Structure formats: structure tokens, C-alpha cells
Amino acid sequence: MQSEFKSLREIPPIDYYTAGRRTCAGCGPAIGYRLISKAAGPNTIFIGPTGCMYVANAHQFLTSPYSVPWHHTQLGGGGAAAIGIASALRTLMLKGKRKPEDINVIVMGGDGAMADIGLSGLSMGLSYDYQRLLYIVYDNEGYMNTGVQASSTTPWGATTTFTPSGKVKPLGNTRYKKNVALIAASHPNVKYVATATLWPPLDLMNKVVRALNSGGPSVIHALFPCPKGWFTSPADTVMLSKLAVETGMWVLWELIEGQFKLNYRPNPRKHVREYLSLQGRFRHLKDEDIDKMDKMIEEEWFYWNESAKQEKLIL
Ligand code: SF4
């Protein structure tokens, strides 16, 4: 069983997501994959529904950036494939056809694959009692490899090719972001649910360890910046993750067997302008739109603080 990392020095130098990939420079999901695979260790099977982490890492003959087993599924099939693999491993071990051992089954699906098209597979996986079954939603807030279309996790006010800011709809996207972690938390069998981003890296890595050791199915909803779809500098990816947390736009929390814990409370909270101003997808917003978004964040924090006080999610 993998133990938690106490400092950056304890992070193993070995990579299971290695060089040779073709993601954009500064790709948040690629950095996230590297950290997550280090935390999970070598006894891991990754399942990759179609998305950037499939397309940009697509295997050509005898090449792959993954040095552990990695299995592609179509866009909506990640959850079902994970249930099948976890079930097959358990059956083979019960029948004595495989030596009993801890094997991690991790679905790494984007917001298209986990929050939209494949949400049913994630939901079904949380209804079983398979151990070391982890669903990670790597959320770059859009369908990026197909041309930056909006998904259900695209934030309010962002411009995408499906929600372009223009004369008729100057705001761009007018829908609110779907909270996949809250949906996951409403499943009675789920053992562990958390949110994460690239900052702090140990927070992300230790949440992977806790999820895998939780004794049942688990979910991590991770915000990973995407320079292509967010129109940001590749050099800003980790800083954007940090600013998302410091402006309160992304809330770091975990639910361990029903007990809610707030991992970080920004104090003082930075104005959301600091986060938005680095991203081209929000360039069209007026000052009053940005202030409105900051007010929405402030109101949401009342909810998070109340949940922290009561140590349970107020759903
Ligand atoms: Fe990464 Fe975004 Fe490029 Fe996809 S489009 S490879 S998520 S930076």
C-alpha cells in the first residue's frame, strides 16, 4: 500500500508517464498525469477514454508515453471499462488464477468523458464495492482537442467556439459550471471524493494515495489548465492553478467516508480578476461582469464554510 508523501523530496524520480508525448507546451493534464502516476506507483492500470490525454498521447506503432498498462476506450466508455477490469481482477484472484495483490484501476477522463458523455459510467462504478478503483476527472473546462467547444464544466463568462462572445451574447458562456465532485459525493457507496489541481502538488498526489487506500470506489475532480483552450501562456499553467485556489474560484476539499474537510481557505481571498486577467477566454468581460463573478464566489464560500463547520457536505 502506497503511503502519503510528507515532502517533495519523497516523490520518486521514476516516471510512469514519460517523454515522447505530443501534448501542447505547458499542458496542465500532462503535468497532472505525471504527478498522479508517480503517486499511484507501478501496480496501476490506467484507462483513457478519448480526450486530450488519448489524442495527444496517441500510440503509434510500438510507442507510448505510458510505462504501465494503459487502455483506451471510446469517449463514454471509461467507467464501464474500469468496472470490467476491476471485476475481472477480483474474479481471477478469487479463483486462484492470479496471486492476490493490490492493483490500482484508474480512469483518467476529461470533462467530456467524465462530466458529460461518460457520467453514467462513473456513477455506476461508484455503486460497486471495488477497492482501488479511482475515477479522476481531469477538467480543462472544454472539449479542447476537437477545437475548444464548451462542456458542462466550462465556467460562466468563458468564450469557446460553441459559446463565442459576440454582439448577441457578449458574455460567451452563460451556463454555470457543473460540480462533478458534489454529484459523486451524493453516491452512498463512495468512500472518498476530493477536488484538486496542480497546486500544491503534494495535495494532488496525497489525494491519489488516500483515494486508492480508501477501501472502495473514489473520485477526484481535478482542475488542470489548458494553454490552448484558455489562451494562456504555457509558463503560467501552475501559477493559474495556484490563483484558482487563492481567488476561491476552485475550492480544495475532500470527503472521507462522509466527513467533509476544507483543505485550504484563502485568507485574504484574492479578487478573481487576478485569475481571469491571465486568460484570453475571459478577455471580453467587462469590469461589472468580473465583479459579478467575484460576488458569486463570495456567496459560494458561505456554503463551503458552513460545510466545514458542520464537517459534512450540505447538499
Ligand atoms: Fe493539453 Fe489543452 Fe493541449 Fe489538450 S489542448 S494537449 S489539454 S494544452
Q: Which amino acid is at 88?
A: A
Task: State which H helix or E strand residue 94 sits in.
Answer: helix 78-94
* Ligand 1 pocket mutation pick from 17, 228, 238, 240 by most atoms within 8 angstroms of CB: 228
β-strand partners of 70: 46
Q: Is 117 in the pocket of ligand 1 (CB under 6 A)?
A: no
For the cut 70, the answer to whether the pLDDT of residue 315 exceeds it is: no
Q: Is 52 in the pocket of ligand 1 (CB under 6 A)?
A: yes
Q: What is the pLDDT of residues 280-314, one digit of tens each?
A: 999 999 999 999 999 999 999 999 999 999 999 98
CA of 213 to the centre of ligand 1 (A): 30
Q: Give the dihedral of Cα atoms 82, 86, 89, 95; nearest 10 deg.
A: -140
Size (the chain), residues: 315
Please tell me the distance from the alpha carbon of residue 219 to that of residue 115, in angstroms, as a whole number. 12
Are residues 22 and 57 in contact, defined by beta-carbon separation less than 8 angstroms? yes
Are residues 252 and 206 in contact, defined by beta-carbon separation less than 8 angstroms? no
Please tell me the distance from the alpha carbon of residue 226 to that of residue 247, in angstroms, as a whole number. 18
155 Cβ contact list (under 8 Å, min separation 6): 141, 173, 176, 177, 249
CA 308 remoteness from chain centre: 22
Q: Where are the domains of the chain?
A: 8-310
Q: Is 228 in the pocket of ligand 1 (CB under 6 A)?
A: yes
Cα dist from 103 to 131, 203, 253, whole Å: 9, 22, 26
Q: What is the pLDDT of residues 217-240, one digit of tens each?
A: 999 999 999 999 999 999 999 999
Interhelix angle 237-246/28-40, nearest 10 degrees: 80
Please tell me the distance from the alpha carbon of residue 297 to that of residue 315, in angstroms, as a whole number. 17
CA of 226 to the centre of ligand 1 (A): 5
Task: Tell me how many helices (H) and strands (E) the chain has.
Answer: 11, 8
CA of 33 to the centre of ligand 1 (A): 12
Q: Is 24 in the pocket of ligand 1 (CB under 6 A)?
A: yes
Query: Which atom of ligand 1 sits closest to the CA of residue 224?
Result: 7
Closest among 182, 184, 124, 173 to 151, alpha carbons compared: 173
Q: Is 145 in the pocket of ligand 1 (CB under 6 A)?
A: yes
In the numeric block, which cell numbers belong to residue 220? 477526484
Closest protein CA for atom 2 of ligand 1: 226
* Ligand 1 pocket mutation pick from 137, 139, 140, 224 by most atoms within 8 angstroms of CB: 140
At residue 203, φ and ψ (nearest 5 deg) are -60, -45
Q: What is the pLDDT of residues 51-82, one digit of tens each?
A: 999 888 866 677 789 999 999 999 999 999 99
pLDDT at 20: 81
Q: Is 104 in the pocket of ligand 1 (CB under 6 A)?
A: no
Please tell me the distance from the alpha carbon of residue 281 to that of residue 276, in angstroms, as a whole number. 8
Closest protein CA for atom 6 of ligand 1: 23
The CATH homologous superfamily of the domain defined by 8-310: Thiamin diphosphate (ThDP)-binding fold, Pyr/PP domains (3.40.50.970)
Mean pLDDT, rounded, of the chain: 95
ipTM of this model? 0.99
